[in-house]
C-alpha cells in the first residue's frame, strides 16, 4: 500500500507539522532562521492511497484499520450534510422530543473522476443510494476495551 500521510517534515527550510487547532486542521511552519511560526488553516485535505484519492467529508478523522496498519484520513475541510427540519412533538420528563425530517444533501461535490472517492456519514450515503458510486461510509466499527469506537474496518456502500 502506498499512502501519503501527514506529519512532521521539512519544506524550504521550515519544519512543518499538521495539528488540530480550534477545531481546524492547521499546518504549522517553524522558521528556525527568524524563530517565527506561520499558521495556515488546511481547507482542502486529501489522502491518496495507491492512486485513489480519499476525500473525507466528515468533521473528524476516519481511522481505517487494514491488514497493513491504520490509515488516518483527515477531514477535508468540506462537510457533506443532509438538510433537516425538526418539529417538536412531545416532551418526556422535561426532555423535548422532536420529529426529524432529512432532505437534500449539501456539500457533496459532483462526480468528478473514477480515482476519487468521498467518505460521508451513513445518512448522506443513504440519501444518495443508487445514484452515486463514488460515495462511501465507514465500515464495521472497531472498538477499544471500553467499547468506544476508535476506527473502522474498511469502507461500506449503502
Predicted pLDDT of residue 114: 81
CB within 8 A of 157, min separation 6: which ones?
A: 125, 133, 135, 136, 137
Residue-wise pLDDT tens digits, 66-90: 888 888 898 888 899 999 999 999 9
Say yes or no to pLDDT of 12 above 50: no
- Average pLDDT (41-50) is 65
Domain borders along the chain are 1-42, 43-156
Predicted pLDDT of residue 3: 43
For the record, the C-alpha cell of 30 comes out as 517553524
Residue-wise pLDDT tens digits, 114-142: 889 999 999 999 999 999 999 999 999 99
d(CA 151, CA 55): 16
Amino acid at each position: 500500500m502506498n499512502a501519503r500521510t501527514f506529519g512532521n517534515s521539512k519544506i524550504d527550510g521550515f519544519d512543518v507539522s499538521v495539528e488540530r487547532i480550534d477545531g481546524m486542521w492547521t499546518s504549522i511552519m517553524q522558521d528556525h532562521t527568524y524563530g517565527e511560526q506561520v499558521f495556515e488553516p488546511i481547507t482542502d485535505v486529501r489522502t491518496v492511497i495507491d492512486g485513489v484519492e480519499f476525500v473525507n467529508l466528515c468533521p473528524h478523522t476516519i481511522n481505517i484499520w487494514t491488514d497493513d496498519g491504520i490509515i488516518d484520513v483527515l477531514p477535508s475541510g468540506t462537510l457533506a450534510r443532509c438538510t433537516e427540519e425538526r418539529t417538536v412533538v412531545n416532551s418526556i420528563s422535561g426532555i423535548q422530543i422532536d420529529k426529524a425530517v432529512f432532505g437534500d444533501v449539501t456539500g457533496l461535490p459532483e462526480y468528478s473522476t473514477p480515482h476519487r472517492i468521498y467518505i460521508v456519514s451513513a445518512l448522506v450515503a443513504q440519501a444518495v443510494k443508487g445514484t452515486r458510486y463514488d460515495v462511501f461510509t465507514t465500515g464495521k466499527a472497531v472498538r477499544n476495551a471500553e467499547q468506544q469506537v476508535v476506527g473502522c474496518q474498511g469502507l461500506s456502500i449503502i
